[in-house]
Structures are given as structure tokens and as C-alpha cells.
A = this chain, B = another copy of it.
């Protein structure tokens, strides 16, 4: 395609005010003297500013807000346990979350300090050959790399008083690398009758969760995140990545997998999360329906979003993120009139299964009140519900996902507010 022939609409015409060259093109050319490589006195002065190698610019502020998770029920042996930290999704671009900005929802305020040479993964229970894997063993096996989001079950729009980050910052997306769980199960040989995999972490409170054996097909025993070893707050040296299920199934500091007939429930699950009865030996007398499993289709506009103020009227690109626990994002629609009319947003490609897909939509703001919202459809055909639809159809069935549509109201002064409660 010849750029000079392009007939694409120009954003300039749509109200994006760009500065012309005050000095004119002629003079601008003169400024670009090819031989004048000693120019730039201003730049040389500031070039002396010390800057640590590879670090962020001092002008970039992407620090997360963190929240200590010290509710009474979370005390263990009298010590406050737990740390929550949000991903600054409004500050991010693209689909990768930098590893140090991945959300954290953790029992224990400090991750276990694991020496990888000492760490072992034990696979036992209803297997032919119980085995112990060192990190070196796992590194020698075939690996896969896949991009997946992880999201905490608490992440959802709420009626009042929270920022984009506080409502929607418990979700992140990384490139994960490791051994397919199915390959490891193949090594140990799963016995007939085993239906669940109990996965346990090495932190002091020993969190663990049971997932259906069939889900093992797309789980990864991950040692890598975004190209490097998984970081300690994310489960170093091993994390079970369970794509599409709520975050707790992606067990950090993975040390043990046990093949069982019925789901095992540990202390934390019984008392704090599922609040269900149990049978002998901690086995739940139930079926899959008792567990929060696959998450639904979800999207959120990250710009403009709550707590921001538009700098003026004119052209903007609405930006947001979409994902689904059921597969890839097939479509995202954006409404600027509170859901009366919808237009297809543009999806960044490739739209990968159970991964963030970035969407954008053009919007020219004339200075009037507007309500912006997005709606995701996944490749299973599931459509993200409105708040009322969520309350009616999803919540009663114990939805594993707070995936209601998030409306943002833009006031005539350009303030952006959470409008979730207005539709309820």
C-alpha cells in the first residue's frame, strides 16, 4: 500500500489538535543540519543525570498500590497474614504485565525464600509411579510457552467509591513457560478412578486447591514468566498456571500434586472460602458444581476510567482490555451512550485463548455527559452481562467471575466516574 495514496481518515480532522510547526517547514529543515552532531547543549546537560542501567525513567510512575490483607479471619498464629497488590491496569499498554507489576493476592506478607536447588515437586496419590522432580529435571523436559491472564475472584465492579485499580487491578497477563502438567502426569501414570488433582504450595500456610483432572490438559507447571524465572511474589520457583480458572487455582510455590478421587479441601478452603461441609479425610462429598471453575467473558475500559479527567474536548482513543476463561475474545463492543447503541471495537491481534486482548475505539468528545462501557463476546459465544443481568443470571449460580459490564460516566467537566450503581 502506498502511503501517499492513503485515503484513511485523518485524526486531525476529527478534533485532535496538533501543533503545526511554528517556524515553518523551511526553518524546520534548517534545524536538521546533518553535520551538526555537536548540537544539543540542553540534552548534554541533562544527559549527566545518573540513571541505573535498565531501570524505568524517573518520570514514569507505575507503582502499585498495595493493601495489607489483615482481616481478623486472616490471622494465623496471631500474626497478620496476607498481602494484596493491584496491577496499575490504567497505566499499562499492550497485553503483557511487567512481572514486578503483576497483582498479588497472598497469604503471608513475604513469599517463601526458596532455594531452587533444594526445591522439589512431589506427584503422588492415585498414580502408578510417585515421583519427585527437581528444577533441573523439569528444565530438561519439553516446555511450552503461552500467554495467559490470571485474575482474583474479588476483581469486579462495585457500586461505589473505588478506583479503576481497586475494582479491576487484581488481574494481570503474562507469558508463562514451563512443562505441561499433562506431560508430568504421563510420567507418573494416573490410575483409573482418579478425577481430581490437588495442588499445594510451599508457603507456611500451605494453600492448595483441587482441580478437575480434565483441566490438566491446559495447565502449565511454570518456571518462567515473561522470559525470566517466575518472581518470588508470583511463586518462584514453580507456579501451577491454571488458565481461565480464578487465580487461586494457579498455585504459587508449587511443591505437591496429589491425584485423588474426590476433591480435597484444606483448612483455608473449608473455613474461609468454600464454607462447605466435608467428609472423611478432608474430602468434599460433592461434585464439580461446588467449586468455582471457568471464568466468563469480561472487559473493562481502562481509558478513560474512574479518577481520570479528560484534558479537553476532541479526539480520543478509548482503550481497554478483554479476556475470557472460556477461550479467546471474539468481539468487543463499545457504547458511549450507556448501552443504548454499540459499535465494534478494534481488537489487537493475535487474540489468544485465556489471554488479555487489547481493544481500542475512536471517540470524539464534544464536552457533553457520556457513559462509556464495553462488552466482550468470547469464542464460545458467551456475552458479558450488564450489572442487572449479572445479578439475575450469573450471581445465583455462584459465578466464579465478577464479569459484569463496567460503565464509566464522563461529566460535562471531563471528570470520569464509576456509574455501576446507576443501572442497578
Interface residue ranges, A against B (CB under 8 Å): 1-4, 6, 8, 10-12, 16, 18-21, 24-25, 28-29, 32, 34-40, 43-44, 46-51, 53-60, 62, 64, 66, 76-77, 85, 91-102, 108, 110-116, 122, 124-125, 127, 129-134, 136-137, 139-145, 175-177, 182-183, 185-187, 190-192, 194, 198, 200, 202-206, 213-214, 216-217, 223-224, 226-229, 231-233, 236-237, 256, 258, 264-268, 281-282, 311, 314-317, 319, 346, 348, 350, 352, 358, 360, 362
Contact = CB atoms under 8 A, between A and B. Distances in A.
A200 B137 contact: no
Closest 8 CB pairs of A and B: A54-B100, A34-B282, A93-B224, A49-B113, A28-B124, A21-B130, A93-B177, A94-B145
Contacts of A139: 317
Contact of A267 (B35, B137, B182, B317): B35
A37 B96 contact: no
A20 B129 contact: yes
A206 B129 contact: no
Contacts of A236: 57, 59-60
What is the count of identical protomers in the complex?
Answer: 2
A270 to B, nearest CB: 9
Contacts of A44: 204
A140 B304 CA distance: 11
A97 B175 CA distance: 11
A243 B280 CA distance: 60
6 contacts: A29-B124, A35-B267, A44-B204, A47-B110, A62-B229, A226-B226
Contacts of A228: 56, 60, 62, 91-93, 98, 101
Contact of A35 (B28, B130, B282): B282
Contacts of A136: 311
